[in-house]
A and B are shown apart, each in its own frame.
Chain A
Amino acid sequence: MPEVTIGLWCIAGFLGTGVLGAVLGRHAVATPLVYGTAMCVALAAVLLALEVLLGAAPATSLVLPIGLPGLGAHFRLDALAAFFMLVVNFGAAAASLYAIGYGRHEKAPLRVLPFYGPFLAAMNLVLLAADAFTFLLSWELMSLASWTLVVSNHRQSANIRAGFIYLLMASFGTLCLLLTFGLLSNATGDFTFERMRAAGSSETVVAMATLLALVGAGSKAGLVPLHVWLPLAHPAAPSHVSALLSGVMTKVGVYGFMRIVFDVIGDLSPWAGLVVVVAGGATAVLGVLYAVMQRDLKRLLAYSTVENIGIIFIGLGLALAFRADGQAPAAALALTAALFHVLNHSVFKSLLFFGAGAVQSATGERDMEKLGGLVHRMPQTAVVFLIGCMSIAALPPLNGFVSEWMTFQAILLSPQLTPWGLKFAVPAVGAMLALAAALAGACFVKAFGVVFLSRPRSPAAANATEVDGFALTAMLMLAWVCVVAGTLPGFVIDALHPVTRALAGSALPTQAGVPWLSIVPIAESRSSYNGLIVFFFLIASGSMTALVVHRLASRRTRKSPAWDCGYPLDSPITQYSSASFAMPIRRVFGTVVFGVHETVDMPRPGEMRAGHYRLRVRDPAWRYLYGPLARLVLRSAHKLNRLQFLTIRRYLALVFAALIVLMLVVAAWR
């Protein structure tokens, strides 16, 4: 059986779990059964993807006689699809395992179980689709299935609003993709990717199609300023679904962009690469700045997803620019960095969302100002969450460092580019990336510090208990992948060879033969990194320090007043809070970027009322882009409302006028 057929059977399996969930939803056995089946199917798909990717199997395709008449449904499984299939299904398997335990807390399982499988199926379908119709259909199915999961907790009006905004943005994105395919197929009128690839279009058409693809796929992935739905919708879903939305579905958006721009469009001018790089840089910086400001843990994670998508797009844009400039090895480096970050982000963002879900199920809180001290209550969760935080903050020897380091290596190659504008612009984006990386560090110090360290800020946090074994296993598995991919990155890079060879026309030198398991992306003389040595150095120096401290320090008991950390009062409120941690960054960037508004209402001496401190942070995308747009739509809708109450004769006249106008246009254009 060809690989693509097995992939389609996996999709059928996912759909089957949806049916299972719908039929058995009310039974207690449904939750473990549905998630367990989904996990098995996802693992099978992971194996399939690994086989295609590592075996460097040739692409297999299949045409099913369903869908549009005369077109059918085309499916194809090549290296790019296989890589993303690996990412998607690995995340899905982890989320399913996590949900076997976590799903027991679900209040209305019938609102989640029937849609979970179809959501996974739709994501896989997008990856396998090889014609525009199937692609868009699966894309919309994915949006719709994930929307049902976002609004599954429908009793909170905020979730309904998040779902509405998500639906709007998803439709807008699909519209853009629809136009992209329309432009690309115009030359031939054929909607299979194969024909579009062969057809080729004029430069203007290609530029417009690229821009539309960036907007359409970027709205799913979360590029600024199309990111607004993401921090609303991702936290609204149950945590394992949040992990899928943030860690996996955004990657399907990245895949959509890559499939259209790298594969179907092909030849581009280097300036298109610059547009993508700048969009990625702005997304990275703004995303992490928003993330630092948040006090809701899951929303912080969602904004951090925006940042990571920015990093991925920087890599993709660089790959485009290098490829258009005819520098295949550099393009391969940038593309490898981007793909590696896709994998890494899917792993550690899922891990962090699982951690946030564990915290939420243990305490019932997502507000960081009400958490704290959980390291004593949930020690295992704390350790894996710490590993996730270190990965996402790009600390060696974990995986986040490797991909960001490779992105920087690609940026450092930018002086090789021929156009002068790019020579100057790309290092500037590099500076933005560096800023984003630093801020991400601050952001996750805050996330871990405020949630797990210090003293509990609420009774709920003080009485938390460790989560169940399934959830812990899932998180441990992901943490383990973070460590392994970080210490042995050479294997991951080698596995990406078929993808980069297909899309960038070249691949990085094989890393398996490099001594001491280092990675050497360009040349030994230029740069190399060895995660394993860093890992062992850290372990060795850490144990040595511990040994020295424990052995050589004095064991004599000393008595002294307890150090109060500068807090004379005993109340947990006096601790460093999430808002106070973010204050310096807020002061520096706040007034310009966020329109931060702080008001202090201090009672006079002698007054008995409480003092108030109010802080308002607004997303400028809402203020400058979506607010005016929404007002415009409302105003015109109000005007058009009158059209509902016309007479029959006037309706006829309207139709008639439209007909005449169209006829005039036709007559004038010829």
Chain B
Amino acid sequence: MNPLWFDIAHLLAGGVLVLSLMLLYQDRITAVINVFALQAVVLSLSVGWQALVQSAPHLVATALIALVAKGVIIPTALHRIVRKLDIHREVERVVSGGPTMLAGLGLVALSILLVQPVVETADPVAREDFAFALAVVLLGLLVMITRRNAVTQVIGFMSLENGLILAATGAKGMPLVVEVSVAFSVLIAFIVFGVFVFRIRERFDTVDVNVLERYRGERREHL
């Protein structure tokens, strides 16, 4: 295979990872949603490239699902929610940007350290892809735990799921069923989260999760 093909595959997978890191230091919700949409677009490009490299036409379907669902529908819906709730100006992080970025870099290093020896014998395209994918998953989790707004937590979860898709498509011969089911589960999760967010809003006039904690009578001030 042409070495350029690897390089492009790595470039695109690396792009997904860089966008995950960008998610970490965004302050505004609108910016977070935009970065997420961009990540979905890059992800679909990466998956499309994999379809070409592995000559697996079903991956094109996966790429399209990712592009339409995560690149267009979900961001649009989230933008609508944010506008409707009037929270697009809110800054809502628990840990400030610097330490979060440092932690994120540490996670990337850890996942490379962990994955590299395991997949040494694997197909060279899959090799780096797995490290990137694991890093994206971990960063998604990090987003979920460093934000206090329900909407950004949803985005963290979906970015985590992007990592899963990246891993699934990087490996040769992963059937389409898996990807379709993963995509649908995320869509359903998104719907559930959306309903949940609106219910919270109706009840408490905010989507700040801390208010829920206060409601349970266990607010801790240092959050």
Contacts and interface: CB of A to CB of B under 8 A. Distances in A.
Most A-side CB within 10 Å, residue of B138, B141, B145, B212: B145
A28 interface: no
Contacts of B216: 645
A553 interface: no
Interface residues of B, number: 20
B103 to A, nearest CB: 10
Interface stretch (B41-49, B109-117, B178-186): B109-117
A626 interface: no
Given A663-B110, A664-B110, A667-B110, A656 B145 contact: yes
Interface string B98-123: 00000000010011011001000000
Given A648-B209, A649-B94, A663 B142 contact: no
Contact of B141 (A652, A664, A667, A670): A652
Query: Top 8 closest A-B pairs, CB basis?
Result: A653-B145, A652-B145, A667-B113, A656-B141, A647-B213, A667-B114, A645-B218, A663-B114
B142 A649 contact: no
Given A647-B209, A648-B209, A649-B94, A666 B142 contact: no
Interface residues of A, number: 14
Interface of B: 94, 107, 110-111, 113-114, 117, 138, 141-142, 144-145, 148, 153, 209, 212-213, 216, 218, 223
Contacts of B141: 652, 656, 659
A663 B114 CA distance: 7
Contacts of A659: 138, 141
B178 to A, nearest CB: 22
Contacts of B138: 659-660
Contacts of B148: 649
Contacts of A652: 141, 144-145
Contact of A649 (B111, B114, B145, B218): B145
Contacts of A667: 110, 113-114
Contacts, number: 35
Nearest to A656: B141
A659 B209 CA distance: 24
Interface string A18-43: 00000000000000000000000000
A648 to B, nearest CB: 7
Given A647-B218, A656-B145, A667-B114, 20 more contacts: A647-B209, A647-B212, A648-B209, A649-B94, A649-B148, A649-B153, A649-B209, A652-B141, A656-B142, A659-B141, A660-B107, A660-B110, A660-B138, A663-B110, A663-B111, A663-B114, A664-B110, A666-B114, A667-B110, A667-B113
A606 B43 CA distance: 100
A652 B157 CA distance: 11
Contacts of B213: 647
Nearest to A649: B145
A663 B111 CA distance: 8
Interface string A613-655: 0000000000000000000000000000000010111001100
A670 B120 CA distance: 14
Nearest to A651: B145
Nearest to B219: A647
Nearest to B218: A645
Interface string A385-406: 0000000000000000000000
A366 to B, nearest CB: 51
Contacts of A660: 107, 110, 138
Contacts of A648: 209
A670 B218 contact: no
A649 B152 CA distance: 12
Contacts of B110: 660, 663-664, 667
Contacts of B144: 649, 652
A660 B117 CA distance: 17
Nearest to A653: B145
A670 B111 CA distance: 14
A670 B138 CA distance: 21
B136 to A, nearest CB: 14
Nearest to A645: B218
Contacts of A666: 114
B93 to A, nearest CB: 12
A108 B62 CA distance: 66
14 contacts: A647-B209, A647-B213, A648-B209, A649-B153, A652-B144, A656-B141, A656-B145, A659-B138, A659-B141, A660-B138, A664-B110, A666-B114, A667-B110, A667-B114
A670 B117 contact: yes
B75 to A, nearest CB: 23
A653 B103 CA distance: 13
A652 B141 CA distance: 8
B213 to A, nearest CB: 5
A648 B153 CA distance: 11
A347 to B, nearest CB: 61
Nearest to B210: A647
Contacts of A656: 141-142, 145
Interface in A429-463: none
A652 B114 CA distance: 22
A664 B142 CA distance: 16
B165 to A, nearest CB: 19
A239 to B, nearest CB: 53
Most B-side CB within 10 Å, residue of A649, A653, A656, A664: A649
Contacts of B113: 667
Nearest to A652: B145
A660 B138 CA distance: 9
Contacts of B145: 649, 652-653, 656
Contacts of B209: 647-649
Contacts of A653: 145
